[in-house]
Structure 1
Amino acid sequence: MTASFEPADRLAAFGNQLVDVHLWLREELARLRSGLDALLSGTGERPRELRAHCLAFCSALTRHHTAEDGGVFPALAEAHPELRPVLDELAHDHVQVEETLVRLQALLDGLPAASAARLGPEEARRVSGELDGLIALVESHFTYEEKKLVGALNALSVPLPEDFALRDLTGR
C-alpha cells in the first residue's frame, strides 16, 4: 500500500516543517561555530571555506525569513488576527538577524585568505562576538516562533511559499 499525500496533508504539516527547518538551521549554525572555533585555534577550516559556509548559511536563513515575511506571516495574520503582535515581533527579529548576518559576513570577508594566517586577538574577538550574538538571537527567535506559531501553522488551510519547506533550503 502506498501513502498518498494530498495538498491538505502538506498543509497540515507546515508547523512541523517549521521545526524541521529550524533544526537544520541550528545544526548549520553549530557547524559554523565549530568551524570558527577551529580556525581560531589554528586547527580548522581555511578562512575561505569558513566564509563560504557562512555565506551558504546566511543565504538559507535569509530565504527562510523572506518566505515567512512574504507569505507565511500574512497568511497567519489573516487566519489568526490575534497573532499579529507576535508576527510583528518576529518580523522585527528578522531585521535584526539580517543586520547581524551582514556584519558577520563582512567580518569574515575581511579575514586573511591564507590557511596559515591567524586572526589577531581583536579580529577574533569581533568575529566570535558577532557569531555569539547571532546564535543567541536566532535561538531565542526560533524558540519563540515555535512556541507561538506551530499550532496555528498546522491548522492553516492555505498554500504557503514553496521555499518555506525544508527541502527547498537543504536540498533534502
Structure 2
Amino acid sequence: MTERETTRLIAWNNELRSVHRRLRDALAVAQAAVTDGGPSDDATRDLLLYCHGFCVALDGHHRGEDRALFPAIEAAHPDLAPVLRSLERDHSMIAHLLGELSAAVDRSASPAELSMHLDGVAAVMETHFRYEERQLLWVLDSLELHDAVSGVLGPL
C-alpha cells in the first residue's frame, strides 16, 4: 500500500470527525441566532439563513452516508448491518426533526419554539454522532472507498 493510499484510508476517519465538528459548529451558530436574534428583519433573515443552512448540511451529510458510506461499510463488514440500520433509523428521525424545525422557521415561530426544535435536534444529533463514531471510526481506518468526500459525507 502506498503512502497516498494509507493517507486516504486514514482520512475517512478524520473526514467523519471533521464533518461532525462542522455540523456541531453550524448548530451552535443557529442556536446563537435564535438566542441573540431580535425582532428586526436582519435578525429574521440571519435566522432563516443559519437554520436552513444547518438543516441542508445535516440532511446532506446523512444522505451521503446512506447512499455511499454505509453500503461500502456493509460490503466490507456485513456484521455491522444492525449498527448501520440503527444509524439509518436515526437519520430518518433527524430528518423528521429537521422538517419540523424548517417549518417552524418558515412560519416565523417564536424564539422559544425555535430553541425547542434546535434543542431536540441537538440532543438526537449528538447521541447519533457519538454512537456512530464509537461504532464506525475503527472501520474507516481501513475502508477502501474511492469516492469524493462530498459524495460520501455530504457537501460540507
In the alignment, residue 26 of structure 1 is paired with which amino acid?
R
Indicate conservation of the 8 Å contact 1:47/1:108, yes or no: no
State the match for 2:118 in structure 1. Answer: 131
Q: Aligned-pair distance for 1:55?
A: 1.0
Secondary structure in 1 matching 2:144: coil
Indicate conservation of the 8 Å contact 2:64/2:153, yes or no: no
User: Matches of 1:159 and 1:54 in 2, distance apart?
Assistant: 32
Secondary structure in 1 matching 2:141: helix
Among 70, 74, 77, the residue aligned to 1:73: 70
State the match for 1:83 in structure 2. Answer: 80
User: Matches of 1:77 and 1:53 in 2, distance apart?
Assistant: 34
User: Matches of 1:100 and 1:165 in 2, distance apart?
Assistant: 20
Which runs of 5 or more residues in structure 1 are unaligned? 112-118
Matching of residues 4-153 of structure 1 within 5 Å:
6-39=4-37, 46-111=43-108, 123-153=110-140
Q: Following TM superposition, where does structure 1 have runs of at least 4 consecutive aligned residues deviating by more than 6 angstroms?
A: none
Larger proportion of helix: 2
Q: Aligned-pair distance for 1:165?
A: 5.3
Q: Aligned-pair distance for 1:52?
A: 1.1
Aligned length: 154
Q: Percent identity?
A: 35
User: Matches of 1:142 and 1:63 in 2, distance apart?
Assistant: 15
1:52-78 CA-partner distances (Å, limit 9, x unpaired): 111111111111111100010000011
Q: Aligned-pair distance for 1:5?
A: 6.8
- Structure with bigger gyration radius: 1
Indicate conservation of the 8 Å contact 1:104/1:131, yes or no: yes
